[in-house]
């Protein structure tokens, strides 16, 4: 079932989101919002990087062609709000080379916009539509070319003041409104994220089964990519980290070109992107199929920290609670394993644990792997609420040093899962990838024929 193509352009959720954005804009005084999609990027000469639409634009439109923008006029009420798409023209010649394009008429009918025009008409229409509006909702500073187009449209309207036109008095950050919306996922988003998670968990299982001493990190990476793609993921959600031995202590290791050695651990941080939504999973397992004593000690410590963090995810808790829960377990374990000296309070207070655990435990997850959404509201960490999605990813990374017990040198462990906040706690949507030592070892034993 996971290999069926995902249909993500069903119009209804996008239409609903546009109405919701218009309502939020009205509550803040109204106006017109501009949400452009991402530009195409040249890789070299006439070769492009694989195209991916802008997350905000895709969230509101479901439209994934390049050279497009959405103008949303809030109006006085829902009946008056209007969504206007600008997109590439139909072009029989270009479609022979590059494939199907909707064109304005096709896009309007398919995606339920109130109007659609060719992108060549955008600049004139922008100036027309923002005249006499209270605010232009546009996030300045993300793309200089769009900033310049907005400035030109504003100046065009300002130049027409003698004919009674007024430019918007306010420029407001439309992404801030959309960030708040994107933080809480709707049913369609959760359905896609569960499916992306299942595929990605399957990729980690495939990697565990495939891994054996003598294989190269990139061979394992190829297994992950194969599994993502054969189930319909458009891309990996980020560059996979496939880090054998000491490489696991390099947090953003993406070289993935070293040979895997018996006796080492392999840390894999990889997730597929499906229908524009990311999965983000890390598993750490032994190249040879059996954890050594010190590896198992570090691994079980991280797993205990993850369990404590997961238990802290529930409505009413705040974003930092899972991190604090994980820290307490990790810090005590580091003391017990003689990685650190001092009392638990002293280690937490001085943050000496950062030598072995230097990143945070969670981030929002959604269309972007580090997804939209504020982490603080004023001085306070954001409260967790149902249908928010966050990662739970504690780790422990031990670099060699004279004051560190040698048995732990070069052991790097991270365990990362994706949690949907529910009314009673959370749902771990990535749980199909095994986490317990016994389960991992059994799976690897089974793959080797017992
Ligand atoms: N894979 C990116 C992260 O775990 O944050
Ligand atoms: Mn993550
Ligand atoms: Mn990750």
Nearest CA to ligand 1 atom 3: 280
Supply the pTM of this predicted model.
0.96
Per-residue pLDDT, 450: 77
Identify the active-site residue in 297, 414, 418, 441.
414
The residues that bridge with 241 in the sheet, in sequence order, are 269
The verdict on residue 5 lying in a domain is no
Pairing outcome for strands 277-278 and 281-286: unpaired
Per-residue pLDDT, 8: 53
Same domain, 424 and 347: yes
Q: Which of 121, 147, 181 finishes a domain? A: 181
- Region class of 180: left (phi > 0), else alpha (psi between -120 and 50), else beta: alpha
Gap between the Cα atoms of 154 and 131, Å rounded: 8
Same domain, 161 and 172: yes
The verdict on residue 248 lying in a domain is yes
Residue 251 Cβ inside 6 Å of ligand 1? The answer reads: no
Distance (angstroms) between ligand 2 centre and the Cα of 124 equals 42
Gap between the Cα atoms of 227 and 232, Å rounded: 9
DSSP states of 245-293: GGGGGSTT-----SBP-TT-EEEEEE-EEETTEE--EEEEEETTSS--H
pLDDT band at 2 (very low <50, low <70, confident <90, very high): low
Gap between the Cα atoms of 234 and 222, Å rounded: 15
Q: What is the dihedral of CA 318, 321, 322, 325, to 10 degrees?
A: -170
**pLDDT per residue as tens digits for the range 87-115:** 999 999 999 999 999 999 999 999 999 99
Over 70: is that where the pLDDT of 19 sits? yes
The verdict on residue 6 lying in a domain is no
Gap between the Cα atoms of 419 and 392, Å rounded: 7
Per-residue pLDDT, 7: 56
Q: Which of 181, 209, 228 finishes a domain? A: 181
Ligand 1: residue of 200, 243, 268, 363 to mutate (most ligand atoms within 8 A of CB) is: 363
Same domain, 85 and 225: no
Distance (angstroms) between ligand 2 centre and the Cα of 59 equals 21
Question: What is the total count of domains within the chain?
Answer: 2
What are the structure tokens assigned to 270, written together? 């990889």
Over 90: is that where the pLDDT of 9 sits? no
Residue 280 Cβ inside 6 Å of ligand 1? The answer reads: yes
The verdict on residue 345 lying in a domain is yes
Residue 393 Cβ inside 6 Å of ligand 1? The answer reads: yes
**pLDDT per residue as tens digits for the range 111-158:** 999 999 999 999 999 999 999 999 999 999 999 999 999 999 999 999
Gap between the Cα atoms of 257 and 236, Å rounded: 18
Per-residue pLDDT, 12: 84
Pairing outcome for strands 395-397 and 412-414: antiparallel
Distance (angstroms) between ligand 1 centre and the Cα of 272 equals 12
Share of the chain above pLDDT 70, in %: 98
**pLDDT per residue as tens digits for the range 153-189:** 999 999 999 999 999 999 999 999 999 999 999 999 9
Q: Which of 134, 162, 181 finishes a domain? A: 181
What CATH number is given to the structural domain containing 288? 3.90.230.10
Same domain, 337 and 442: yes
Distance (angstroms) between ligand 2 centre and the Cα of 432 equals 17
DSSP alpha helix (H) spans, 28-78: 55-61
Assess whether 252 carries a catalytic annotation: yes
Over 90: is that where the pLDDT of 11 sits? no
Per-residue pLDDT, 138: 98
The verdict on residue 131 lying in a domain is yes
**pLDDT per residue as tens digits for the range 264-278:** 999 999 999 999 999
The DSSP letter of residue 383 is: B
Residue 337 lies in domain: 184-447
Assess whether 226 carries a catalytic annotation: no
Nearest CA to ligand 1 atom 4: 280
Same domain, 129 and 72: yes
**pLDDT per residue as tens digits for the range 199-243:** 999 999 999 999 999 999 999 999 999 999 999 999 999 999 999
Mean pLDDT of 41-70: 97
Closest to 412 (Cα-Cα) out of 433, 393, 400, 395: 395
Residue 371 Cβ inside 6 Å of ligand 1? The answer reads: no
Per-residue pLDDT, 208: 98
Average pLDDT over all residues of the chain: 96
């Amino acid at each position: 079932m996971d290999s069926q193509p995902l249909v993500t352009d069903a119009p209804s959720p996008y239409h609903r989101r546009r109405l919701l954005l218009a309502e939020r804009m009205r509550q803040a005084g109204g106006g017109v919002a501009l949400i452009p999609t991402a530009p195409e990027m040249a890789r070299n000469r006439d070769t492009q990087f694989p195209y991916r639409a802008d997350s905000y634009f895709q969230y509101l439109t479901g439209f994934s062609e390049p050279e497009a923008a959405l103008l949303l006029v809030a109006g006085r009420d829902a009946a008056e709000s209007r969504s206007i798409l600008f997109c590439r023209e139909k072009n029989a010649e270009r479609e022979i080379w590059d494939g199907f394009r909707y064109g304005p008429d096709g896009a309007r009918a398919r995606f339920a916009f109130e109007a659609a025009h060719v992108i060549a008409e955008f600049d004139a229409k922008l100036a027309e539509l923002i005249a006499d509006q209270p605010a232009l909702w546009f996030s300045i500073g993300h793309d200089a070319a769009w900033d310049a187009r907005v400035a030109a449209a504003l100046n065009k309207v300002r130049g027409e003041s003698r004919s009674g036109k007024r430019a918007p008095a306010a420029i407001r950050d439309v992404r801030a409104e959309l960030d708040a919306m994107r933080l809480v996922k709707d049913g369609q988003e959760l359905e896609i994220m569960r499916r992306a998670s299942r595929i990605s968990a399957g990729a980690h299982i495939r990697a565990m089964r495939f891994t054996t001493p003598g294989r190269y990190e990139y061979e394992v990476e190829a297994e992950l990519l194969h599994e993502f793609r054969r189930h319909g993921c458009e891309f990996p959600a980020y560059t996979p980290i496939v880090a054998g031995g000491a490489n696991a202590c390099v947090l953003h290791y993406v070289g993935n070109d070293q040979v895997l050695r018996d006796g080492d651990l392999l840390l894999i941080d990889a997730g597929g992107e499906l229908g524009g939504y990311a999965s983000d999973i890390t598993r750490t397992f032994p190249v040879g199929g059996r954890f050594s004593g010190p590896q198992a000690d570090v691994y079980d410590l991280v797993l205990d920290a993850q369990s404590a963090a997961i238990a802290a995810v529930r409505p009413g808790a705040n974003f930092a609670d899972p991190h604090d829960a994980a820290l307490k377990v990790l810090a005590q374990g580091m003391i017990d394993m003689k990685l650190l000296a001092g009392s638990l309070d002293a280690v937490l207070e001085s943050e000496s644990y950062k030598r072995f655990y230097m990143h945070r435990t969670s981030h929002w997850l959604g269309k972007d792997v580090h997804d939209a959404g504020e982490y603080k509201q004023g001085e306070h960490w954001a409260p967790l609420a149902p249908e928010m999605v966050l990662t739970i990813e504690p780790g422990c990374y031990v670099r060699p040093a004279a004051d560190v017990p040698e048995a732990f040198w070069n052991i790097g462990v991270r365990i990362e899962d994706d949690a949907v906040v529910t009314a009673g706690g959370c749902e771990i949507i990535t749980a199909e990838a095994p986490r317990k030592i016994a389960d991992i070892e059994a799976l690897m034993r089974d793959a080797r024929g017992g």
